[in-house]
Structure 1
Amino acid sequence: MALIVSSRVKAKLIEKHSVSEEEVIQCFATREGGFLKDTREEHLTDPPSQWFVAETYFGRILKVVFIMEDGDIYIKTAYPANSKEIRIYEKYAM
C-alpha cells in the first residue's frame, strides 16, 4: 500500500490550504475513527471518495479526502476541518 500525492495536489495543498504532505501522513497515523464516503452528487467518483478528520502531531485538525484503488491511497485534498465536518465525523465515524 502506498500513499500517493500527485504534484498538482501537493501544490494545491501548500498554496491553497497551507497543508504539507507530512501533515497528511500524520493524520493517517493519528486517526481514531473510520472512513466516511462522500455521497454528494457533485463529488461522486469511481471509486468513491472517502474522508476522515484527524489531528497532526501539533494538534492541527484536518479533513483528508482520498480515493483508495488497488490498495493504494490517492490523496485528493486536505485542509483545516470546519466545525460541521468535525461534528459529522464524530457522529458517524467514531
Structure 2
Amino acid sequence: MKLLFSHKIRLKLATKIPPVTESEIVECFSNRDGNFLEDSREDHKSDPPTQWFIAETDYGKKLKIVFVYRENMGIAIRTAYVPNDDELRIYNKYGYEKG
C-alpha cells in the first residue's frame, strides 16, 4: 500500500520534537502488531474515517501514526509523534482486542 505525504505534512513531521521521518513511519507500519483504531472524537471525524495506531520503529522509538485510508490512492498520513501516556493506555487497552 502506498503511503501519501503532502508537502504540509512533511514540514509538520520535520518540526515535531523529536522530528519524525517518513522512513520511521514506514517502519511503524511494518512493525505494527495491534489493530487500527478509529478516532471518534467529533472534531476529528472525517470521511473516510481517521485511524491511528502505535508501533515502534526498528530502533524502538514508539510513535503514534494517524492516517486516512483513501480507496484507490493509498494511506494519507495526517501526523505522527511520540505518544503520551494516555494514548499508550488507550492503545494498550483497545488496540489488541480481537475483532
TM-score range, shorter chain: over 0.9
Structure 1's unaligned 5+ residue stretches are: none
| SS class of match (1:27) | helix
> Deviations 1:32-62 (Å, cap 9, x if unpaired)?
0010000000111111100000001111100
Whole-Å separation in 1 of the counterparts to 2:2 and 2:31: 17
Q: Which residue of 1 aligns with 2:6?
A: 6
Q: Which residue of 1 aligns with 2:36?
A: 35
Q: Displacement, 1:82? A: 1.0
Q: Which residue of 2 aligns with 1:81?
A: 83
| SS class of match (1:50) | strand
Higher helix share: 1
Whole-Å separation in 1 of the counterparts to 2:58 and 2:2: 21
Structure 2's unaligned 5+ residue stretches are: none
Give the superposed CA RMSD.
1.0
Letter in 2 for 1:75: I
Equivalences for 1:9-24 in 2 at 5 Å?
9-17=9-17, 18-24=19-25
Query: Could you tell me the TM-score, scaled by structure 1's length?
Result: 0.95
**Identity rate, percent:** 48
Q: Which residue of 1 aligns with 2:65?
A: 64
Whole-Å separation in 2 of the counterparts to 1:41 and 1:93: 20
Whole-Å separation in 2 of the counterparts to 1:62 and 1:73: 17
Say whether 1:93 aligns with 2:95. Answer: yes
Question: How many residue pairs end up in the alignment?
Answer: 94
Q: Displacement, 1:29? A: 0.5
Q: Structure 1 residue runs of 4+, over 6 Å off?
A: none
Whole-Å separation in 2 of the counterparts to 1:10 and 1:89: 25
Query: Could you tell me the TM-score, scaled by structure 2's length?
Result: 0.91
